[in-house]
Every structure is written in structure tokens, then in C-alpha cells.
Structure 1
Amino acid sequence: MDKGNACPYASMASSVTFCCAIFAITLVIIRIFYVIYWGSRPHRTRAPQPVSTLIVLGSGGHTAEMLNLLSVLQKDRFTPRFYIAAATDNMSLQKARLLENSLADENGVQTSETAQFMQIYRSREVGQSYITSVWTTLIAMMHALWLMMKIRPQVILCNGPGTCIPLCAIAFLFKVLGIRWSSIFYVESIARVRRLSLSGLLLYKLRMADQLFVQWPQLQRKYPRATYVGRLM
């Protein structure tokens, strides 16, 4: 076949490839808007069933606030529970184990039946340079992908630590791809009065959180898509 005859076929193939790429991108965009729209809608079921719940723990005050929040949740509704903390944060998981052990003693069950405890690599340590954090963020994302494939939670609870970002990003990707629908609930810290934390801001701006709760009315006025719930702790 001479070059004159080959050119029209090459041009046609390029056009088909371009059209397929545009079609695929359009489908992805439509799916993203679908996930964002339905993620923010209330979920109603005729008969509430237990939902597997991933709980992301920060350090210090973040963990204290999360454990206080868990103390008022219906434990039989959010089960089994999977606790994740940063690989360098052993104290938070110890506190979570104490909570679960007390619940197990009350109900006469084994902790292993209702809770599991895991660690994840940090995207960025305190004081770490942004250049080196690129590599550690990639590692954290791969680790988050492995954990999310293993846990496949129906609900994700988080309240501020940067550790939650890779996990929420993977959960959002899973929803877009139709792999697993995980409802992401973010509770901003009581210490955040005028502006969201970096984690909260990312989840708010990128619309990854299904519901984002704040504890101060002026914070809700600044971020109108957030839900003001008053003081929880």
C-alpha cells in the first residue's frame, strides 16, 4: 500500500482514538458528579444493618476527640471496627484497644470479633521537607490502597489527621470506579474555630467527604456545605 492510501487510514485511526478518549473522559466526569451528588444525599435503609467502619486516629487531641465521639455511637451499628493510625503513633492504638477491651468486657465478647488495629505510613512527618514528602506520599498512597482493598469499609470516620487523606482519596476512587461505596464522614476538631484544617479543607474543596461536620457556627458560615452540629466533645 502506498503512502497516499495509508494516510487516510492513519488519520481515521487517530480520530477514532481521540473520540474514544473523549468518551472515556466524559464517562469518568459524569461518574464523579454522580458520586458527589449521591454521596451528599442521606442514605435510608428499611432495616439498619451493621456497617464495617474504618476509624482514622490522629495523635494527641485528635485521638481523644475521636474516642469521645465513638463513646456515643451505637457500637452494634458500626461493626466491625477497623482502627488505623500512623506507623509512628503507637499511643493512639493503645487507647483504642483499651476502649474496645472495655466494650468487650461489657458485652462478653472477644475484642478480635469486633475490632482490628492497623498502622499506615505517614504521607509527611512533622518538619519533613516538601521535596522528600513526594516520595513518602507515594508510599503512603500505595499502602492506603492495600489497606482499603483489605478492609473495604462501608463507613470511614476521621477528624483531622493528615493520615486520613490517602485513605479517603482511595475510597473516593473506589466509588468512582464502582469497586466499593464507602461513606466518608469528617468531623472537624473543636479547636478549629475560624478555618478548616488542611485535611478538612482538602476534603471540602475536592468534595471527597460525604458529610463534613463543624462544631462552630461561624465555621459553617464560611464553608456553607459543611454541617453545623454544635459541640460534640
Structure 2
Amino acid sequence: MFLLILALAVFVIYRISCTLPNRKHAVTPAKTKSLAVFLGSGGHTSEALALISALDFNRYSPRTYVISEGDSFSAQKTCELESSKETTTCPAQYTLLTIPRARRVHQSLVTTPPTALYSLLLCIYYITFARTSFADVLILNGPGTCFVLCIAVYVNKFFGLAAPRVIYIESFARVESLSLSGKLLFPFVDRFIVQWQQLQEKEKGAEFHGLLV
């Protein structure tokens, strides 16, 4: 029994090490890519949509916007953006996907694990079972529920299933230090982008491409 547990532990560690991102690995650009973006409500949503609005919607299609339950602001702003981008040559091709919050505002730490687990299971369902391919690229910029999305992606990677490349873009407001979400996700995302050069100098492996929003 001990040897079986040891072998299982070694296998799990090996698979996790295989799925950790190699940020030096070159990726051949495709003509079109499906895109998913998590909208964290409030300022996070405004920043994420500002980033997305600069993209060529003909190239990044279809698009999936992941929002937390009860976040009517993000849903409204998404529809406004898509309507402003829609043309006869670029019809709106997007989906709004609602997931449970991993932790509600003012929720106690004692009751958080069950809600976080429920959120994780739903994310795994949507990424793994709900459609043929969730997305080629997943963009995250916080807050906490995006960590659950990243774990769901790694469940697919662990079992060798199709999984999107994950890009984390740190908030414009983080000038000197990473956010908690950024610190948690730094080792797991394929690309980690910050918006201030002094922050990039502190965090080895982070990218800086100027102010993005």
C-alpha cells in the first residue's frame, strides 16, 4: 500500500511539473484564435474590456466573456462593447458565461471552501465538458475567482486534455507590488504581463509592454 501511494504521489508531481508553463517556448501564431476573458467586475472589468477593445475581432473569434453571478455591470458593458464592434463584415460572435463566485463579499473564511469548490466544479464543467473547445487563449486580470478558472485549466492539462494558454495581465493600479491574485497565479500562467516597468524589474519572468489601459 505504501509503495502504491508513493508511486501515485510521484506520478502526480511528475504530471504537475509537465504542465507548468515554459515561457520561453515559442508559439506559432494562428490566423484566428478563440478568446475567453474573465471580467472581475468594477475596475477589473473596465480594464479587461479596454484591452479587448484594441483587438481585431475578426481574428479573435468567437469570444467568451466569463462573469461572476450577479455581475450585471460586466454583462452590460460586454454587450455595449460587442455592439460597438459589430459590422456587416464582423458580426458579433460572443457568449456570456456566468460562474458562481469563489468567495462573496464579506463571506466568512469558514464558509468559503464549499463555495470555492462549487465554483471550481462549474469551471471544470464549462472548460472540459460543455463545449468542444473552451478557448485557445484565456485572459485573466483578477480578482480571486480567476484563480479558480486557472485551476480548472490545469485539471485539463493534468489529464492531457485541450486547454487554453493563460495570460495574466496585472492591474494598472499595481505599481510597486503584485496583487494577491497575481502572486498566486504567477507560477502557473503562460504569460504574466505588468503595466509598470519598475514592477517588471522586481518580478523575474514578468513582461512589460507599456501601459495597456
On whether the aligned pair clears a TM of 0.5, the verdict is yes
What does residue range 39-188 of structure 1 map to in structure 2 within 5 Å? 41-45=25-29, 48-105=30-87, 107=89, 109=91, 111=92, 114-149=93-128, 150-151=130-131, 152-188=134-170
| Residue 227 of structure 1 pairs with residue 207 of structure 2 | yes
Q: Which has the higher helix share?
A: 1
Aligned partner (choices 2, 15, 23) of residue 31 of structure 1: 15
Number of aligned residue pairs: 210
By how many angstroms is 1:37 displaced?
4.3
TM-score where L is the length of structure 1: 0.83
Partners of 1:101 and 1:40 lie apart in 2 by 37
Deviates more, 1:99-108 or 1:130-139: 99-108
Select between 145-154 and 32-41 the one with higher mean Cα deviation.
Answer: 32-41
- Alignment-derived partner of residue 4 in structure 1: none
Relative to structure 1, is the Cα distance of residues 105 and 77 closer, same or farther in structure 2, using a 3 angstrom cutoff? closer
Kept after mapping to 1: 8 A contact 2:58/2:90: no
The answer on whether the counterparts of 1:175 and 1:181 sit within 8 Å (CA) in structure 2 is yes
CA contact (8 A) 1:155 1:184 kept: yes
Task: Give me the whole-angstrom Cα distance separating, in 2, the residues matched to 1:106 and 1:158.
Answer: 30
2:197 counterpart letter in structure 1: P
Q: What are the ranges of 5 or more consecutive residues in structure 1 without an aligned counterpart?
A: 1-13
Moved segments of 4+, more than 4 Å = none
In 2, the alpha carbon distance for the partners of 1:163 and 1:78 equals 24
Q: Percent identity?
A: 35
Q: Which letter does structure 1 place at the counterpart of 2:101?
A: R
Counterpart position of 2:185: 203
Would you tell me which structure has more strand in proportion to its own residues? 2
Of residues 54-63 and 70-79 in structure 1, the stretch that sits farther from structure 2 once superposed is 70-79
Alignment RMSD, CA only? 1.8
- Structure 2 stretches lacking a partner, 5+ long: none
1:39–1:183: 8 Å Cα contact kept in structure 2?
Answer: no
Write the distance in 2 (CA, Å) between the matches of 1:73 and 1:108.
13
TM-score by length of 2: 0.90
Structure with the greater alpha carbon radius of gyration: 1
1:171 to partner: Cα distance: 0.2
